[in-house]
Amino acid sequence: MRTAAALVLTTALASLALASDFDPYRPAEDLADHPWIARSGVGRLFDANFEGGSLESYFTELGEAFPGVSLVVDPDAARVLVPDVRLRNVPLQSIATLPERIVSGVDVTFGGGGPVVYTDGTEERTGLVLAVQVDTAQVDSWVPESIAAIDIPTFDVDFDGGTLAEYVELLRRLNPDISIVTAGPLEHVDLPAIRVRDSIFFDVLQLAKLLAEPSGSISMEAVSADILVIRAADHEHQEHEEVVTRFWSLESVIVVHGLPLEDVLSAVETMLELFDGGDTRVRYHDQTSVLLARGPEREIEAIQEVVERLERTAIDRHNQYENLRKLERERDRGRSEVSLQAAVLEKAERDLDRVVKLFEQEFAPESEVESARLQIAERRHELDRAMADLEAKESELEELRSRLER
């Protein structure tokens, strides 16, 4: 199967070459009217709500949403059933390859979209190609005579409030087809009363994640279609985390490379704000340029990451300023070269005037005039080259200054 799909993809890509500004990931302008794909509002991420149907309709409508995608779909896709799909904030690749993961016997090869550079230096982009293959011997989910026959299970939940451990037990009784594996102290995570009707299992799970106290205590991961892992954070252990003291010399950052002290302390404070209830104490000793901190180990490690990043930033800024000074020296040499070539050209023009007058008085041969004119052409070429080099250096210098000012 994989070999066949790859062959179809290779054949399709061979015929695709588009302009270099072609963007195969750009959705259709009227995507707002698409029946089940919508922009999520986060970059190139999308929401997908496919209500169930044939594999062929899934990819047909996907192609309508993304005109830059070329489809190569197996005719048997019209008979394969794709169940209800709900995705949030996912890229195009995830939507395109999802049927391969949830429907047996389906193979989706996704490729293309990259640049092709030819030997003459020209560049084009290949379009995105989706090759969809169906192995009918493995398919176990066929389209029924009526799409209305698709049965998507929903659940009623009546939970009076309690711990996450109690809620998980309720979920296991509600949906015994899903194996729920747990890790961490579920009994330390509290949930309020939850009552919902006709909700899919995914929404029932997300309610627990949204309502858990302390906030952010739960993480979930689907290992497969019927195995789910639920983890509870060990906040109690974190509260008893070892308290450590550490110090960092900021001399190279502040004194040598000139990064403002206010920026350093602001970066550290911003990092510590990410820890709820953090009680790390931070002090800066001005005479020795030493930063001192005492607090939970994980917060101290976070400060360590900030300091290391600031050191890299300071070194990078130092290197940029060194490069700036180097460019300024090259710019000055370029100006001197332009002045020199201009003076040489001016002298060549005076020499030509002198030779022409001698030629007119029959004191110089015509070949000497032609030689003088050739000298002028060469000097003008050298001046143009020097001016172009100077312009390039000044442009590079201006760009570097702009980056350093940001």
pLDDT on residue 10: 41
Question: Which pLDDT score, from 0 to 100, does residue 244 have?
Answer: 83
Closest CA relative to residue 115, chosen from 190, 181, 21: 21
Q: Which two tokens stand for residue 335?
A: 């100006």
Q: Where are the alpha helices (DSSP H) in 226-365?
A: 235-239, 261-273, 297-360
Structure tokens at 349: 């023009």
Q: How many CB atoms lie within 10 A of CB 284?
A: 16
pLDDT in tens, the chain (406 residues): 344 454 444 444 344 444 444 455 567 666 777 877 887 665 577 888 888 888 888 888 888 888 877 788 888 888 888 888 887 777 777 788 888 877 888 888 866 544 544 445 555 545 567 788 888 877 776 655 433 334 457 788 899 989 888 998 988 888 887 878 787 888 888 888 988 887 777 778 777 878 887 766 787 776 555 677 788 876 555 555 678 888 888 887 777 667 788 888 888 888 787 776 567 888 888 888 888 888 888 888 888 888 888 888 777 777 888 888 888 898 899 899 889 989 989 998 998 898 888 888 888 888 888 888 898 899 899 889 989 888 888 888 888 888 777 6
Q: What distance in Å separates the CA atoms of residue 326 and residue 237, rounded to the nearest whole number? A: 54
Residues found in the chain: 406
Which amino acid, residue 288? T
**The model's pTM:** 0.34
**How many Å apart are CA 202 and CA 25, to the nearest integer?**
28
